[in-house]
A and B are shown apart, each in its own frame.
Chain A
Amino acid sequence: MVAEPPKSVFYSDLCFGCGKNNSIGLKLKFKWDGKAVRTEFTPNRLHQGWAEVIHGGIITAVLDEAMAYAAGYEGIKCITATMQTRFKHPLSVGEPTIVTASVTRNARRLIETTAKMTLKDGTLIAECTAKQVAAGEARWEERPKKKSGEELK
Chain B
Amino acid sequence: MATKPQKSIITTDMCFGCGKNNPLSLKLNFKWDGKTAKAKFTPNKFHQGFTGIVHGGVISTILDEAMGQAAYRAGIKCVTGTMLIRFKRPLSVGEPVIVTASVTKQVRRLVEIEAKMTLLDGTPVAEAQATEVIPSWKAESEE
Scoring A residues 54 to 85 as 1 if CB is less than 8 Å from chain B, else 0, what string do you get? 01111011111100100000000101111111
**A119 touches B (CB below 8 Å):** no
Query: Does A116 touch B at the CB level, under 8 Å?
Result: no
Q: Does A90 contact B (CB under 8 A)?
A: yes
Q: Which 3 A-B pairs have the closest CB atoms?
A: A61-B57, A57-B61, A9-B50
Q: How many residues of A contact B (CB 8 A)?
A: 52
Give the CA-CA distance A24 to B44 in the complex, in Å.
11
Q: Distance in Å from the Cβ of A109 to the closest Cβ of chain B? A: 15
Q: By the criterion CB–CB under 8 Å, are A48 and B61 in contact?
A: no
Taking the closest CB of chain B, its distance from the CB of A139, in whole angstroms, is 13
| Interface residues of B, count at CB 8 A | 52
Whether B109 sits at the interface, judged by CB under 8 Å, is no
| B33-63 contacts to A (CB < 8 Å) | 45-53, 55-58, 60-63
Of all chain B residues, the one with the shortest Cβ separation from A78 is B50
- B104 close to A (CB within 8 Å): no
Docked CA distance A61–B85 (Å): 12
User: In the bound complex, do residue B60 and residue A57 qualify as a contact, i.e. CB atoms below 8 Å apart?
Assistant: yes
A14 at the interface (CB under 8 A from B): yes
Contact across chains for A57 and B64 when beta carbons are under 8 A apart: yes
Q: Which residues of B contact A (CB under 8 A)?
A: 4-12, 14-17, 19, 22-25, 45-53, 55-58, 60-65, 68, 77, 79-90, 135
B63 — which chain A residues lie within 8 A by C-beta?
A: 57
The digit string for A102-140, where 1 denotes a CB below 8 A from any CB of B, is 000000000000000000000000000000000100000
Compute how far the CA of A24 lies from the CA of B82 in the bound complex, rounded to whole angstroms. Answer: 26
Instruction: Judge whether A12 and B48 touch: CB under 8 Å.
Output: yes
Q: Given A6-B90, A51-B11, A80-B56, are A14 and B45 also a contact pair (CB < 8 Å)?
A: yes
B47: nearest residue on chain A (CB-CB)?
A: A16
Q: How far is the CA of A21 from the CA of B135 in the complex (A)?
A: 37
**B81 A86 Cβ-Cβ under 8 A:** yes
B4 contacts across to A, CB distance below 8 A: 51-52
Q: Which residue of the partner chain, among A12, A62, A87, A92, contacts B80 with CB atoms under 8 Å?
A: A87
Cβ contact within 8 Å between B83 and A56 = yes
B10→A82 contact, CB < 8 A: no
